[in-house]
């Protein structure tokens, strides 16, 4: 795993690393990937991926009926920038 690959994954994850940090990270990251690569040895032929311990979890849907939810005030309570009942964000254009 080289520094450019790490930088690329960081871009996908919206994380930035300084040069020194990148160096240390690349080494650790490489070892972790090498460790989890052990799964390649497993014979998983014909097995379905297990996405949840509960089979029904994948398919259970609640009825689509309106109900009580967060109030406008509560939804905005933790906003870093809360202007006139809206989420404030930096100018993007």
Partner 1 sequence: MELHQLPVHILIDLIREGRTSPASVREYFARRIDQLNGDLNAFITVLDFARDDSGDGKPLAGVPVAVKDNISVAGVRLTCGSRMLENFEAVYDATAVARLKQAGAVIAGKTNLDEFAMGSSNEYSYFGAVKNPADPERVPGGSSGGSAAAVAAGMVPAALGSDTGGSVRQPASFCGIVGFKPSYGRISRWGLVAFASSLDQIGFLTRDVRDAALLYEITAGPDEHDATMIQSPPERVDFNMWNDRTPRVAVLSQSFSDSVAESIRDRIGEIASKLGAEKIEIPELEYAVPIYYIIAPAEASANLARYDGVRYGFRAEDVADAVDLYFRTRTQGFGPEVKRRIMIGTFVLSAGYQDEYFKRAQKGRRLLANKLGEVFERFDFVISPTTTTAAFRFGERTEDPISMYLSDYFTVIANLIGAPAISIPVHREGELPYGLQIMAAPRHDAELLSFAAAVEEKFV
**Are 27 and 2 within 8 A, CB to CB?**
no
* Cβ distance to partner 1 smaller for residue 13 or 20: 13
State in angstroms the smallest separation of the CB of 73 from partner 1. Answer: 9
Determine if 66 is a binding residue for partner 1 (CB under 8 A).
no
Determine if 64 is a binding residue for partner 1 (CB under 8 A).
no
Rounded-to-integer distance, Cα 18 and Cα 7, Å: 10
Instruction: Report residue 64 as tokens.
Output: 């689509």
**83: β partners:** 86
Rounded-to-integer distance, Cα 31 and Cα 37, Å: 10
Determine if 3 is a binding residue for partner 1 (CB under 8 A).
no
Given the rule CB under 8 A, which residues bind partner 1? Answer: 6, 9-10, 12-17, 25, 28-29, 31-33, 35-42, 44, 47-54, 56-57, 60-62, 70, 74, 77-81, 87, 89-92
């Amino acid at each position: 795993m080289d520094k450019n690959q790490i930088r690329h994954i960081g871009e996908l994850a919206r994380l930035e690393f300084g040069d020194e940090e990148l160096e240390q990270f690349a080494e650790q990251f490489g070892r972790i990937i090498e460790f989890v690569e052990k799964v390649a040895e497993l014979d998983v032929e014909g097995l379905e991926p297990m996405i949840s311990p509960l089979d029904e979890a994948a398919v259970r849907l609640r009825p689509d009926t309106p109900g009580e939810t967060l109030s406008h005030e509560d939804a905005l309570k933790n906003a870093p920038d809360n202007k006139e009942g809206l989420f404030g964000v930096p100018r993007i254009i």
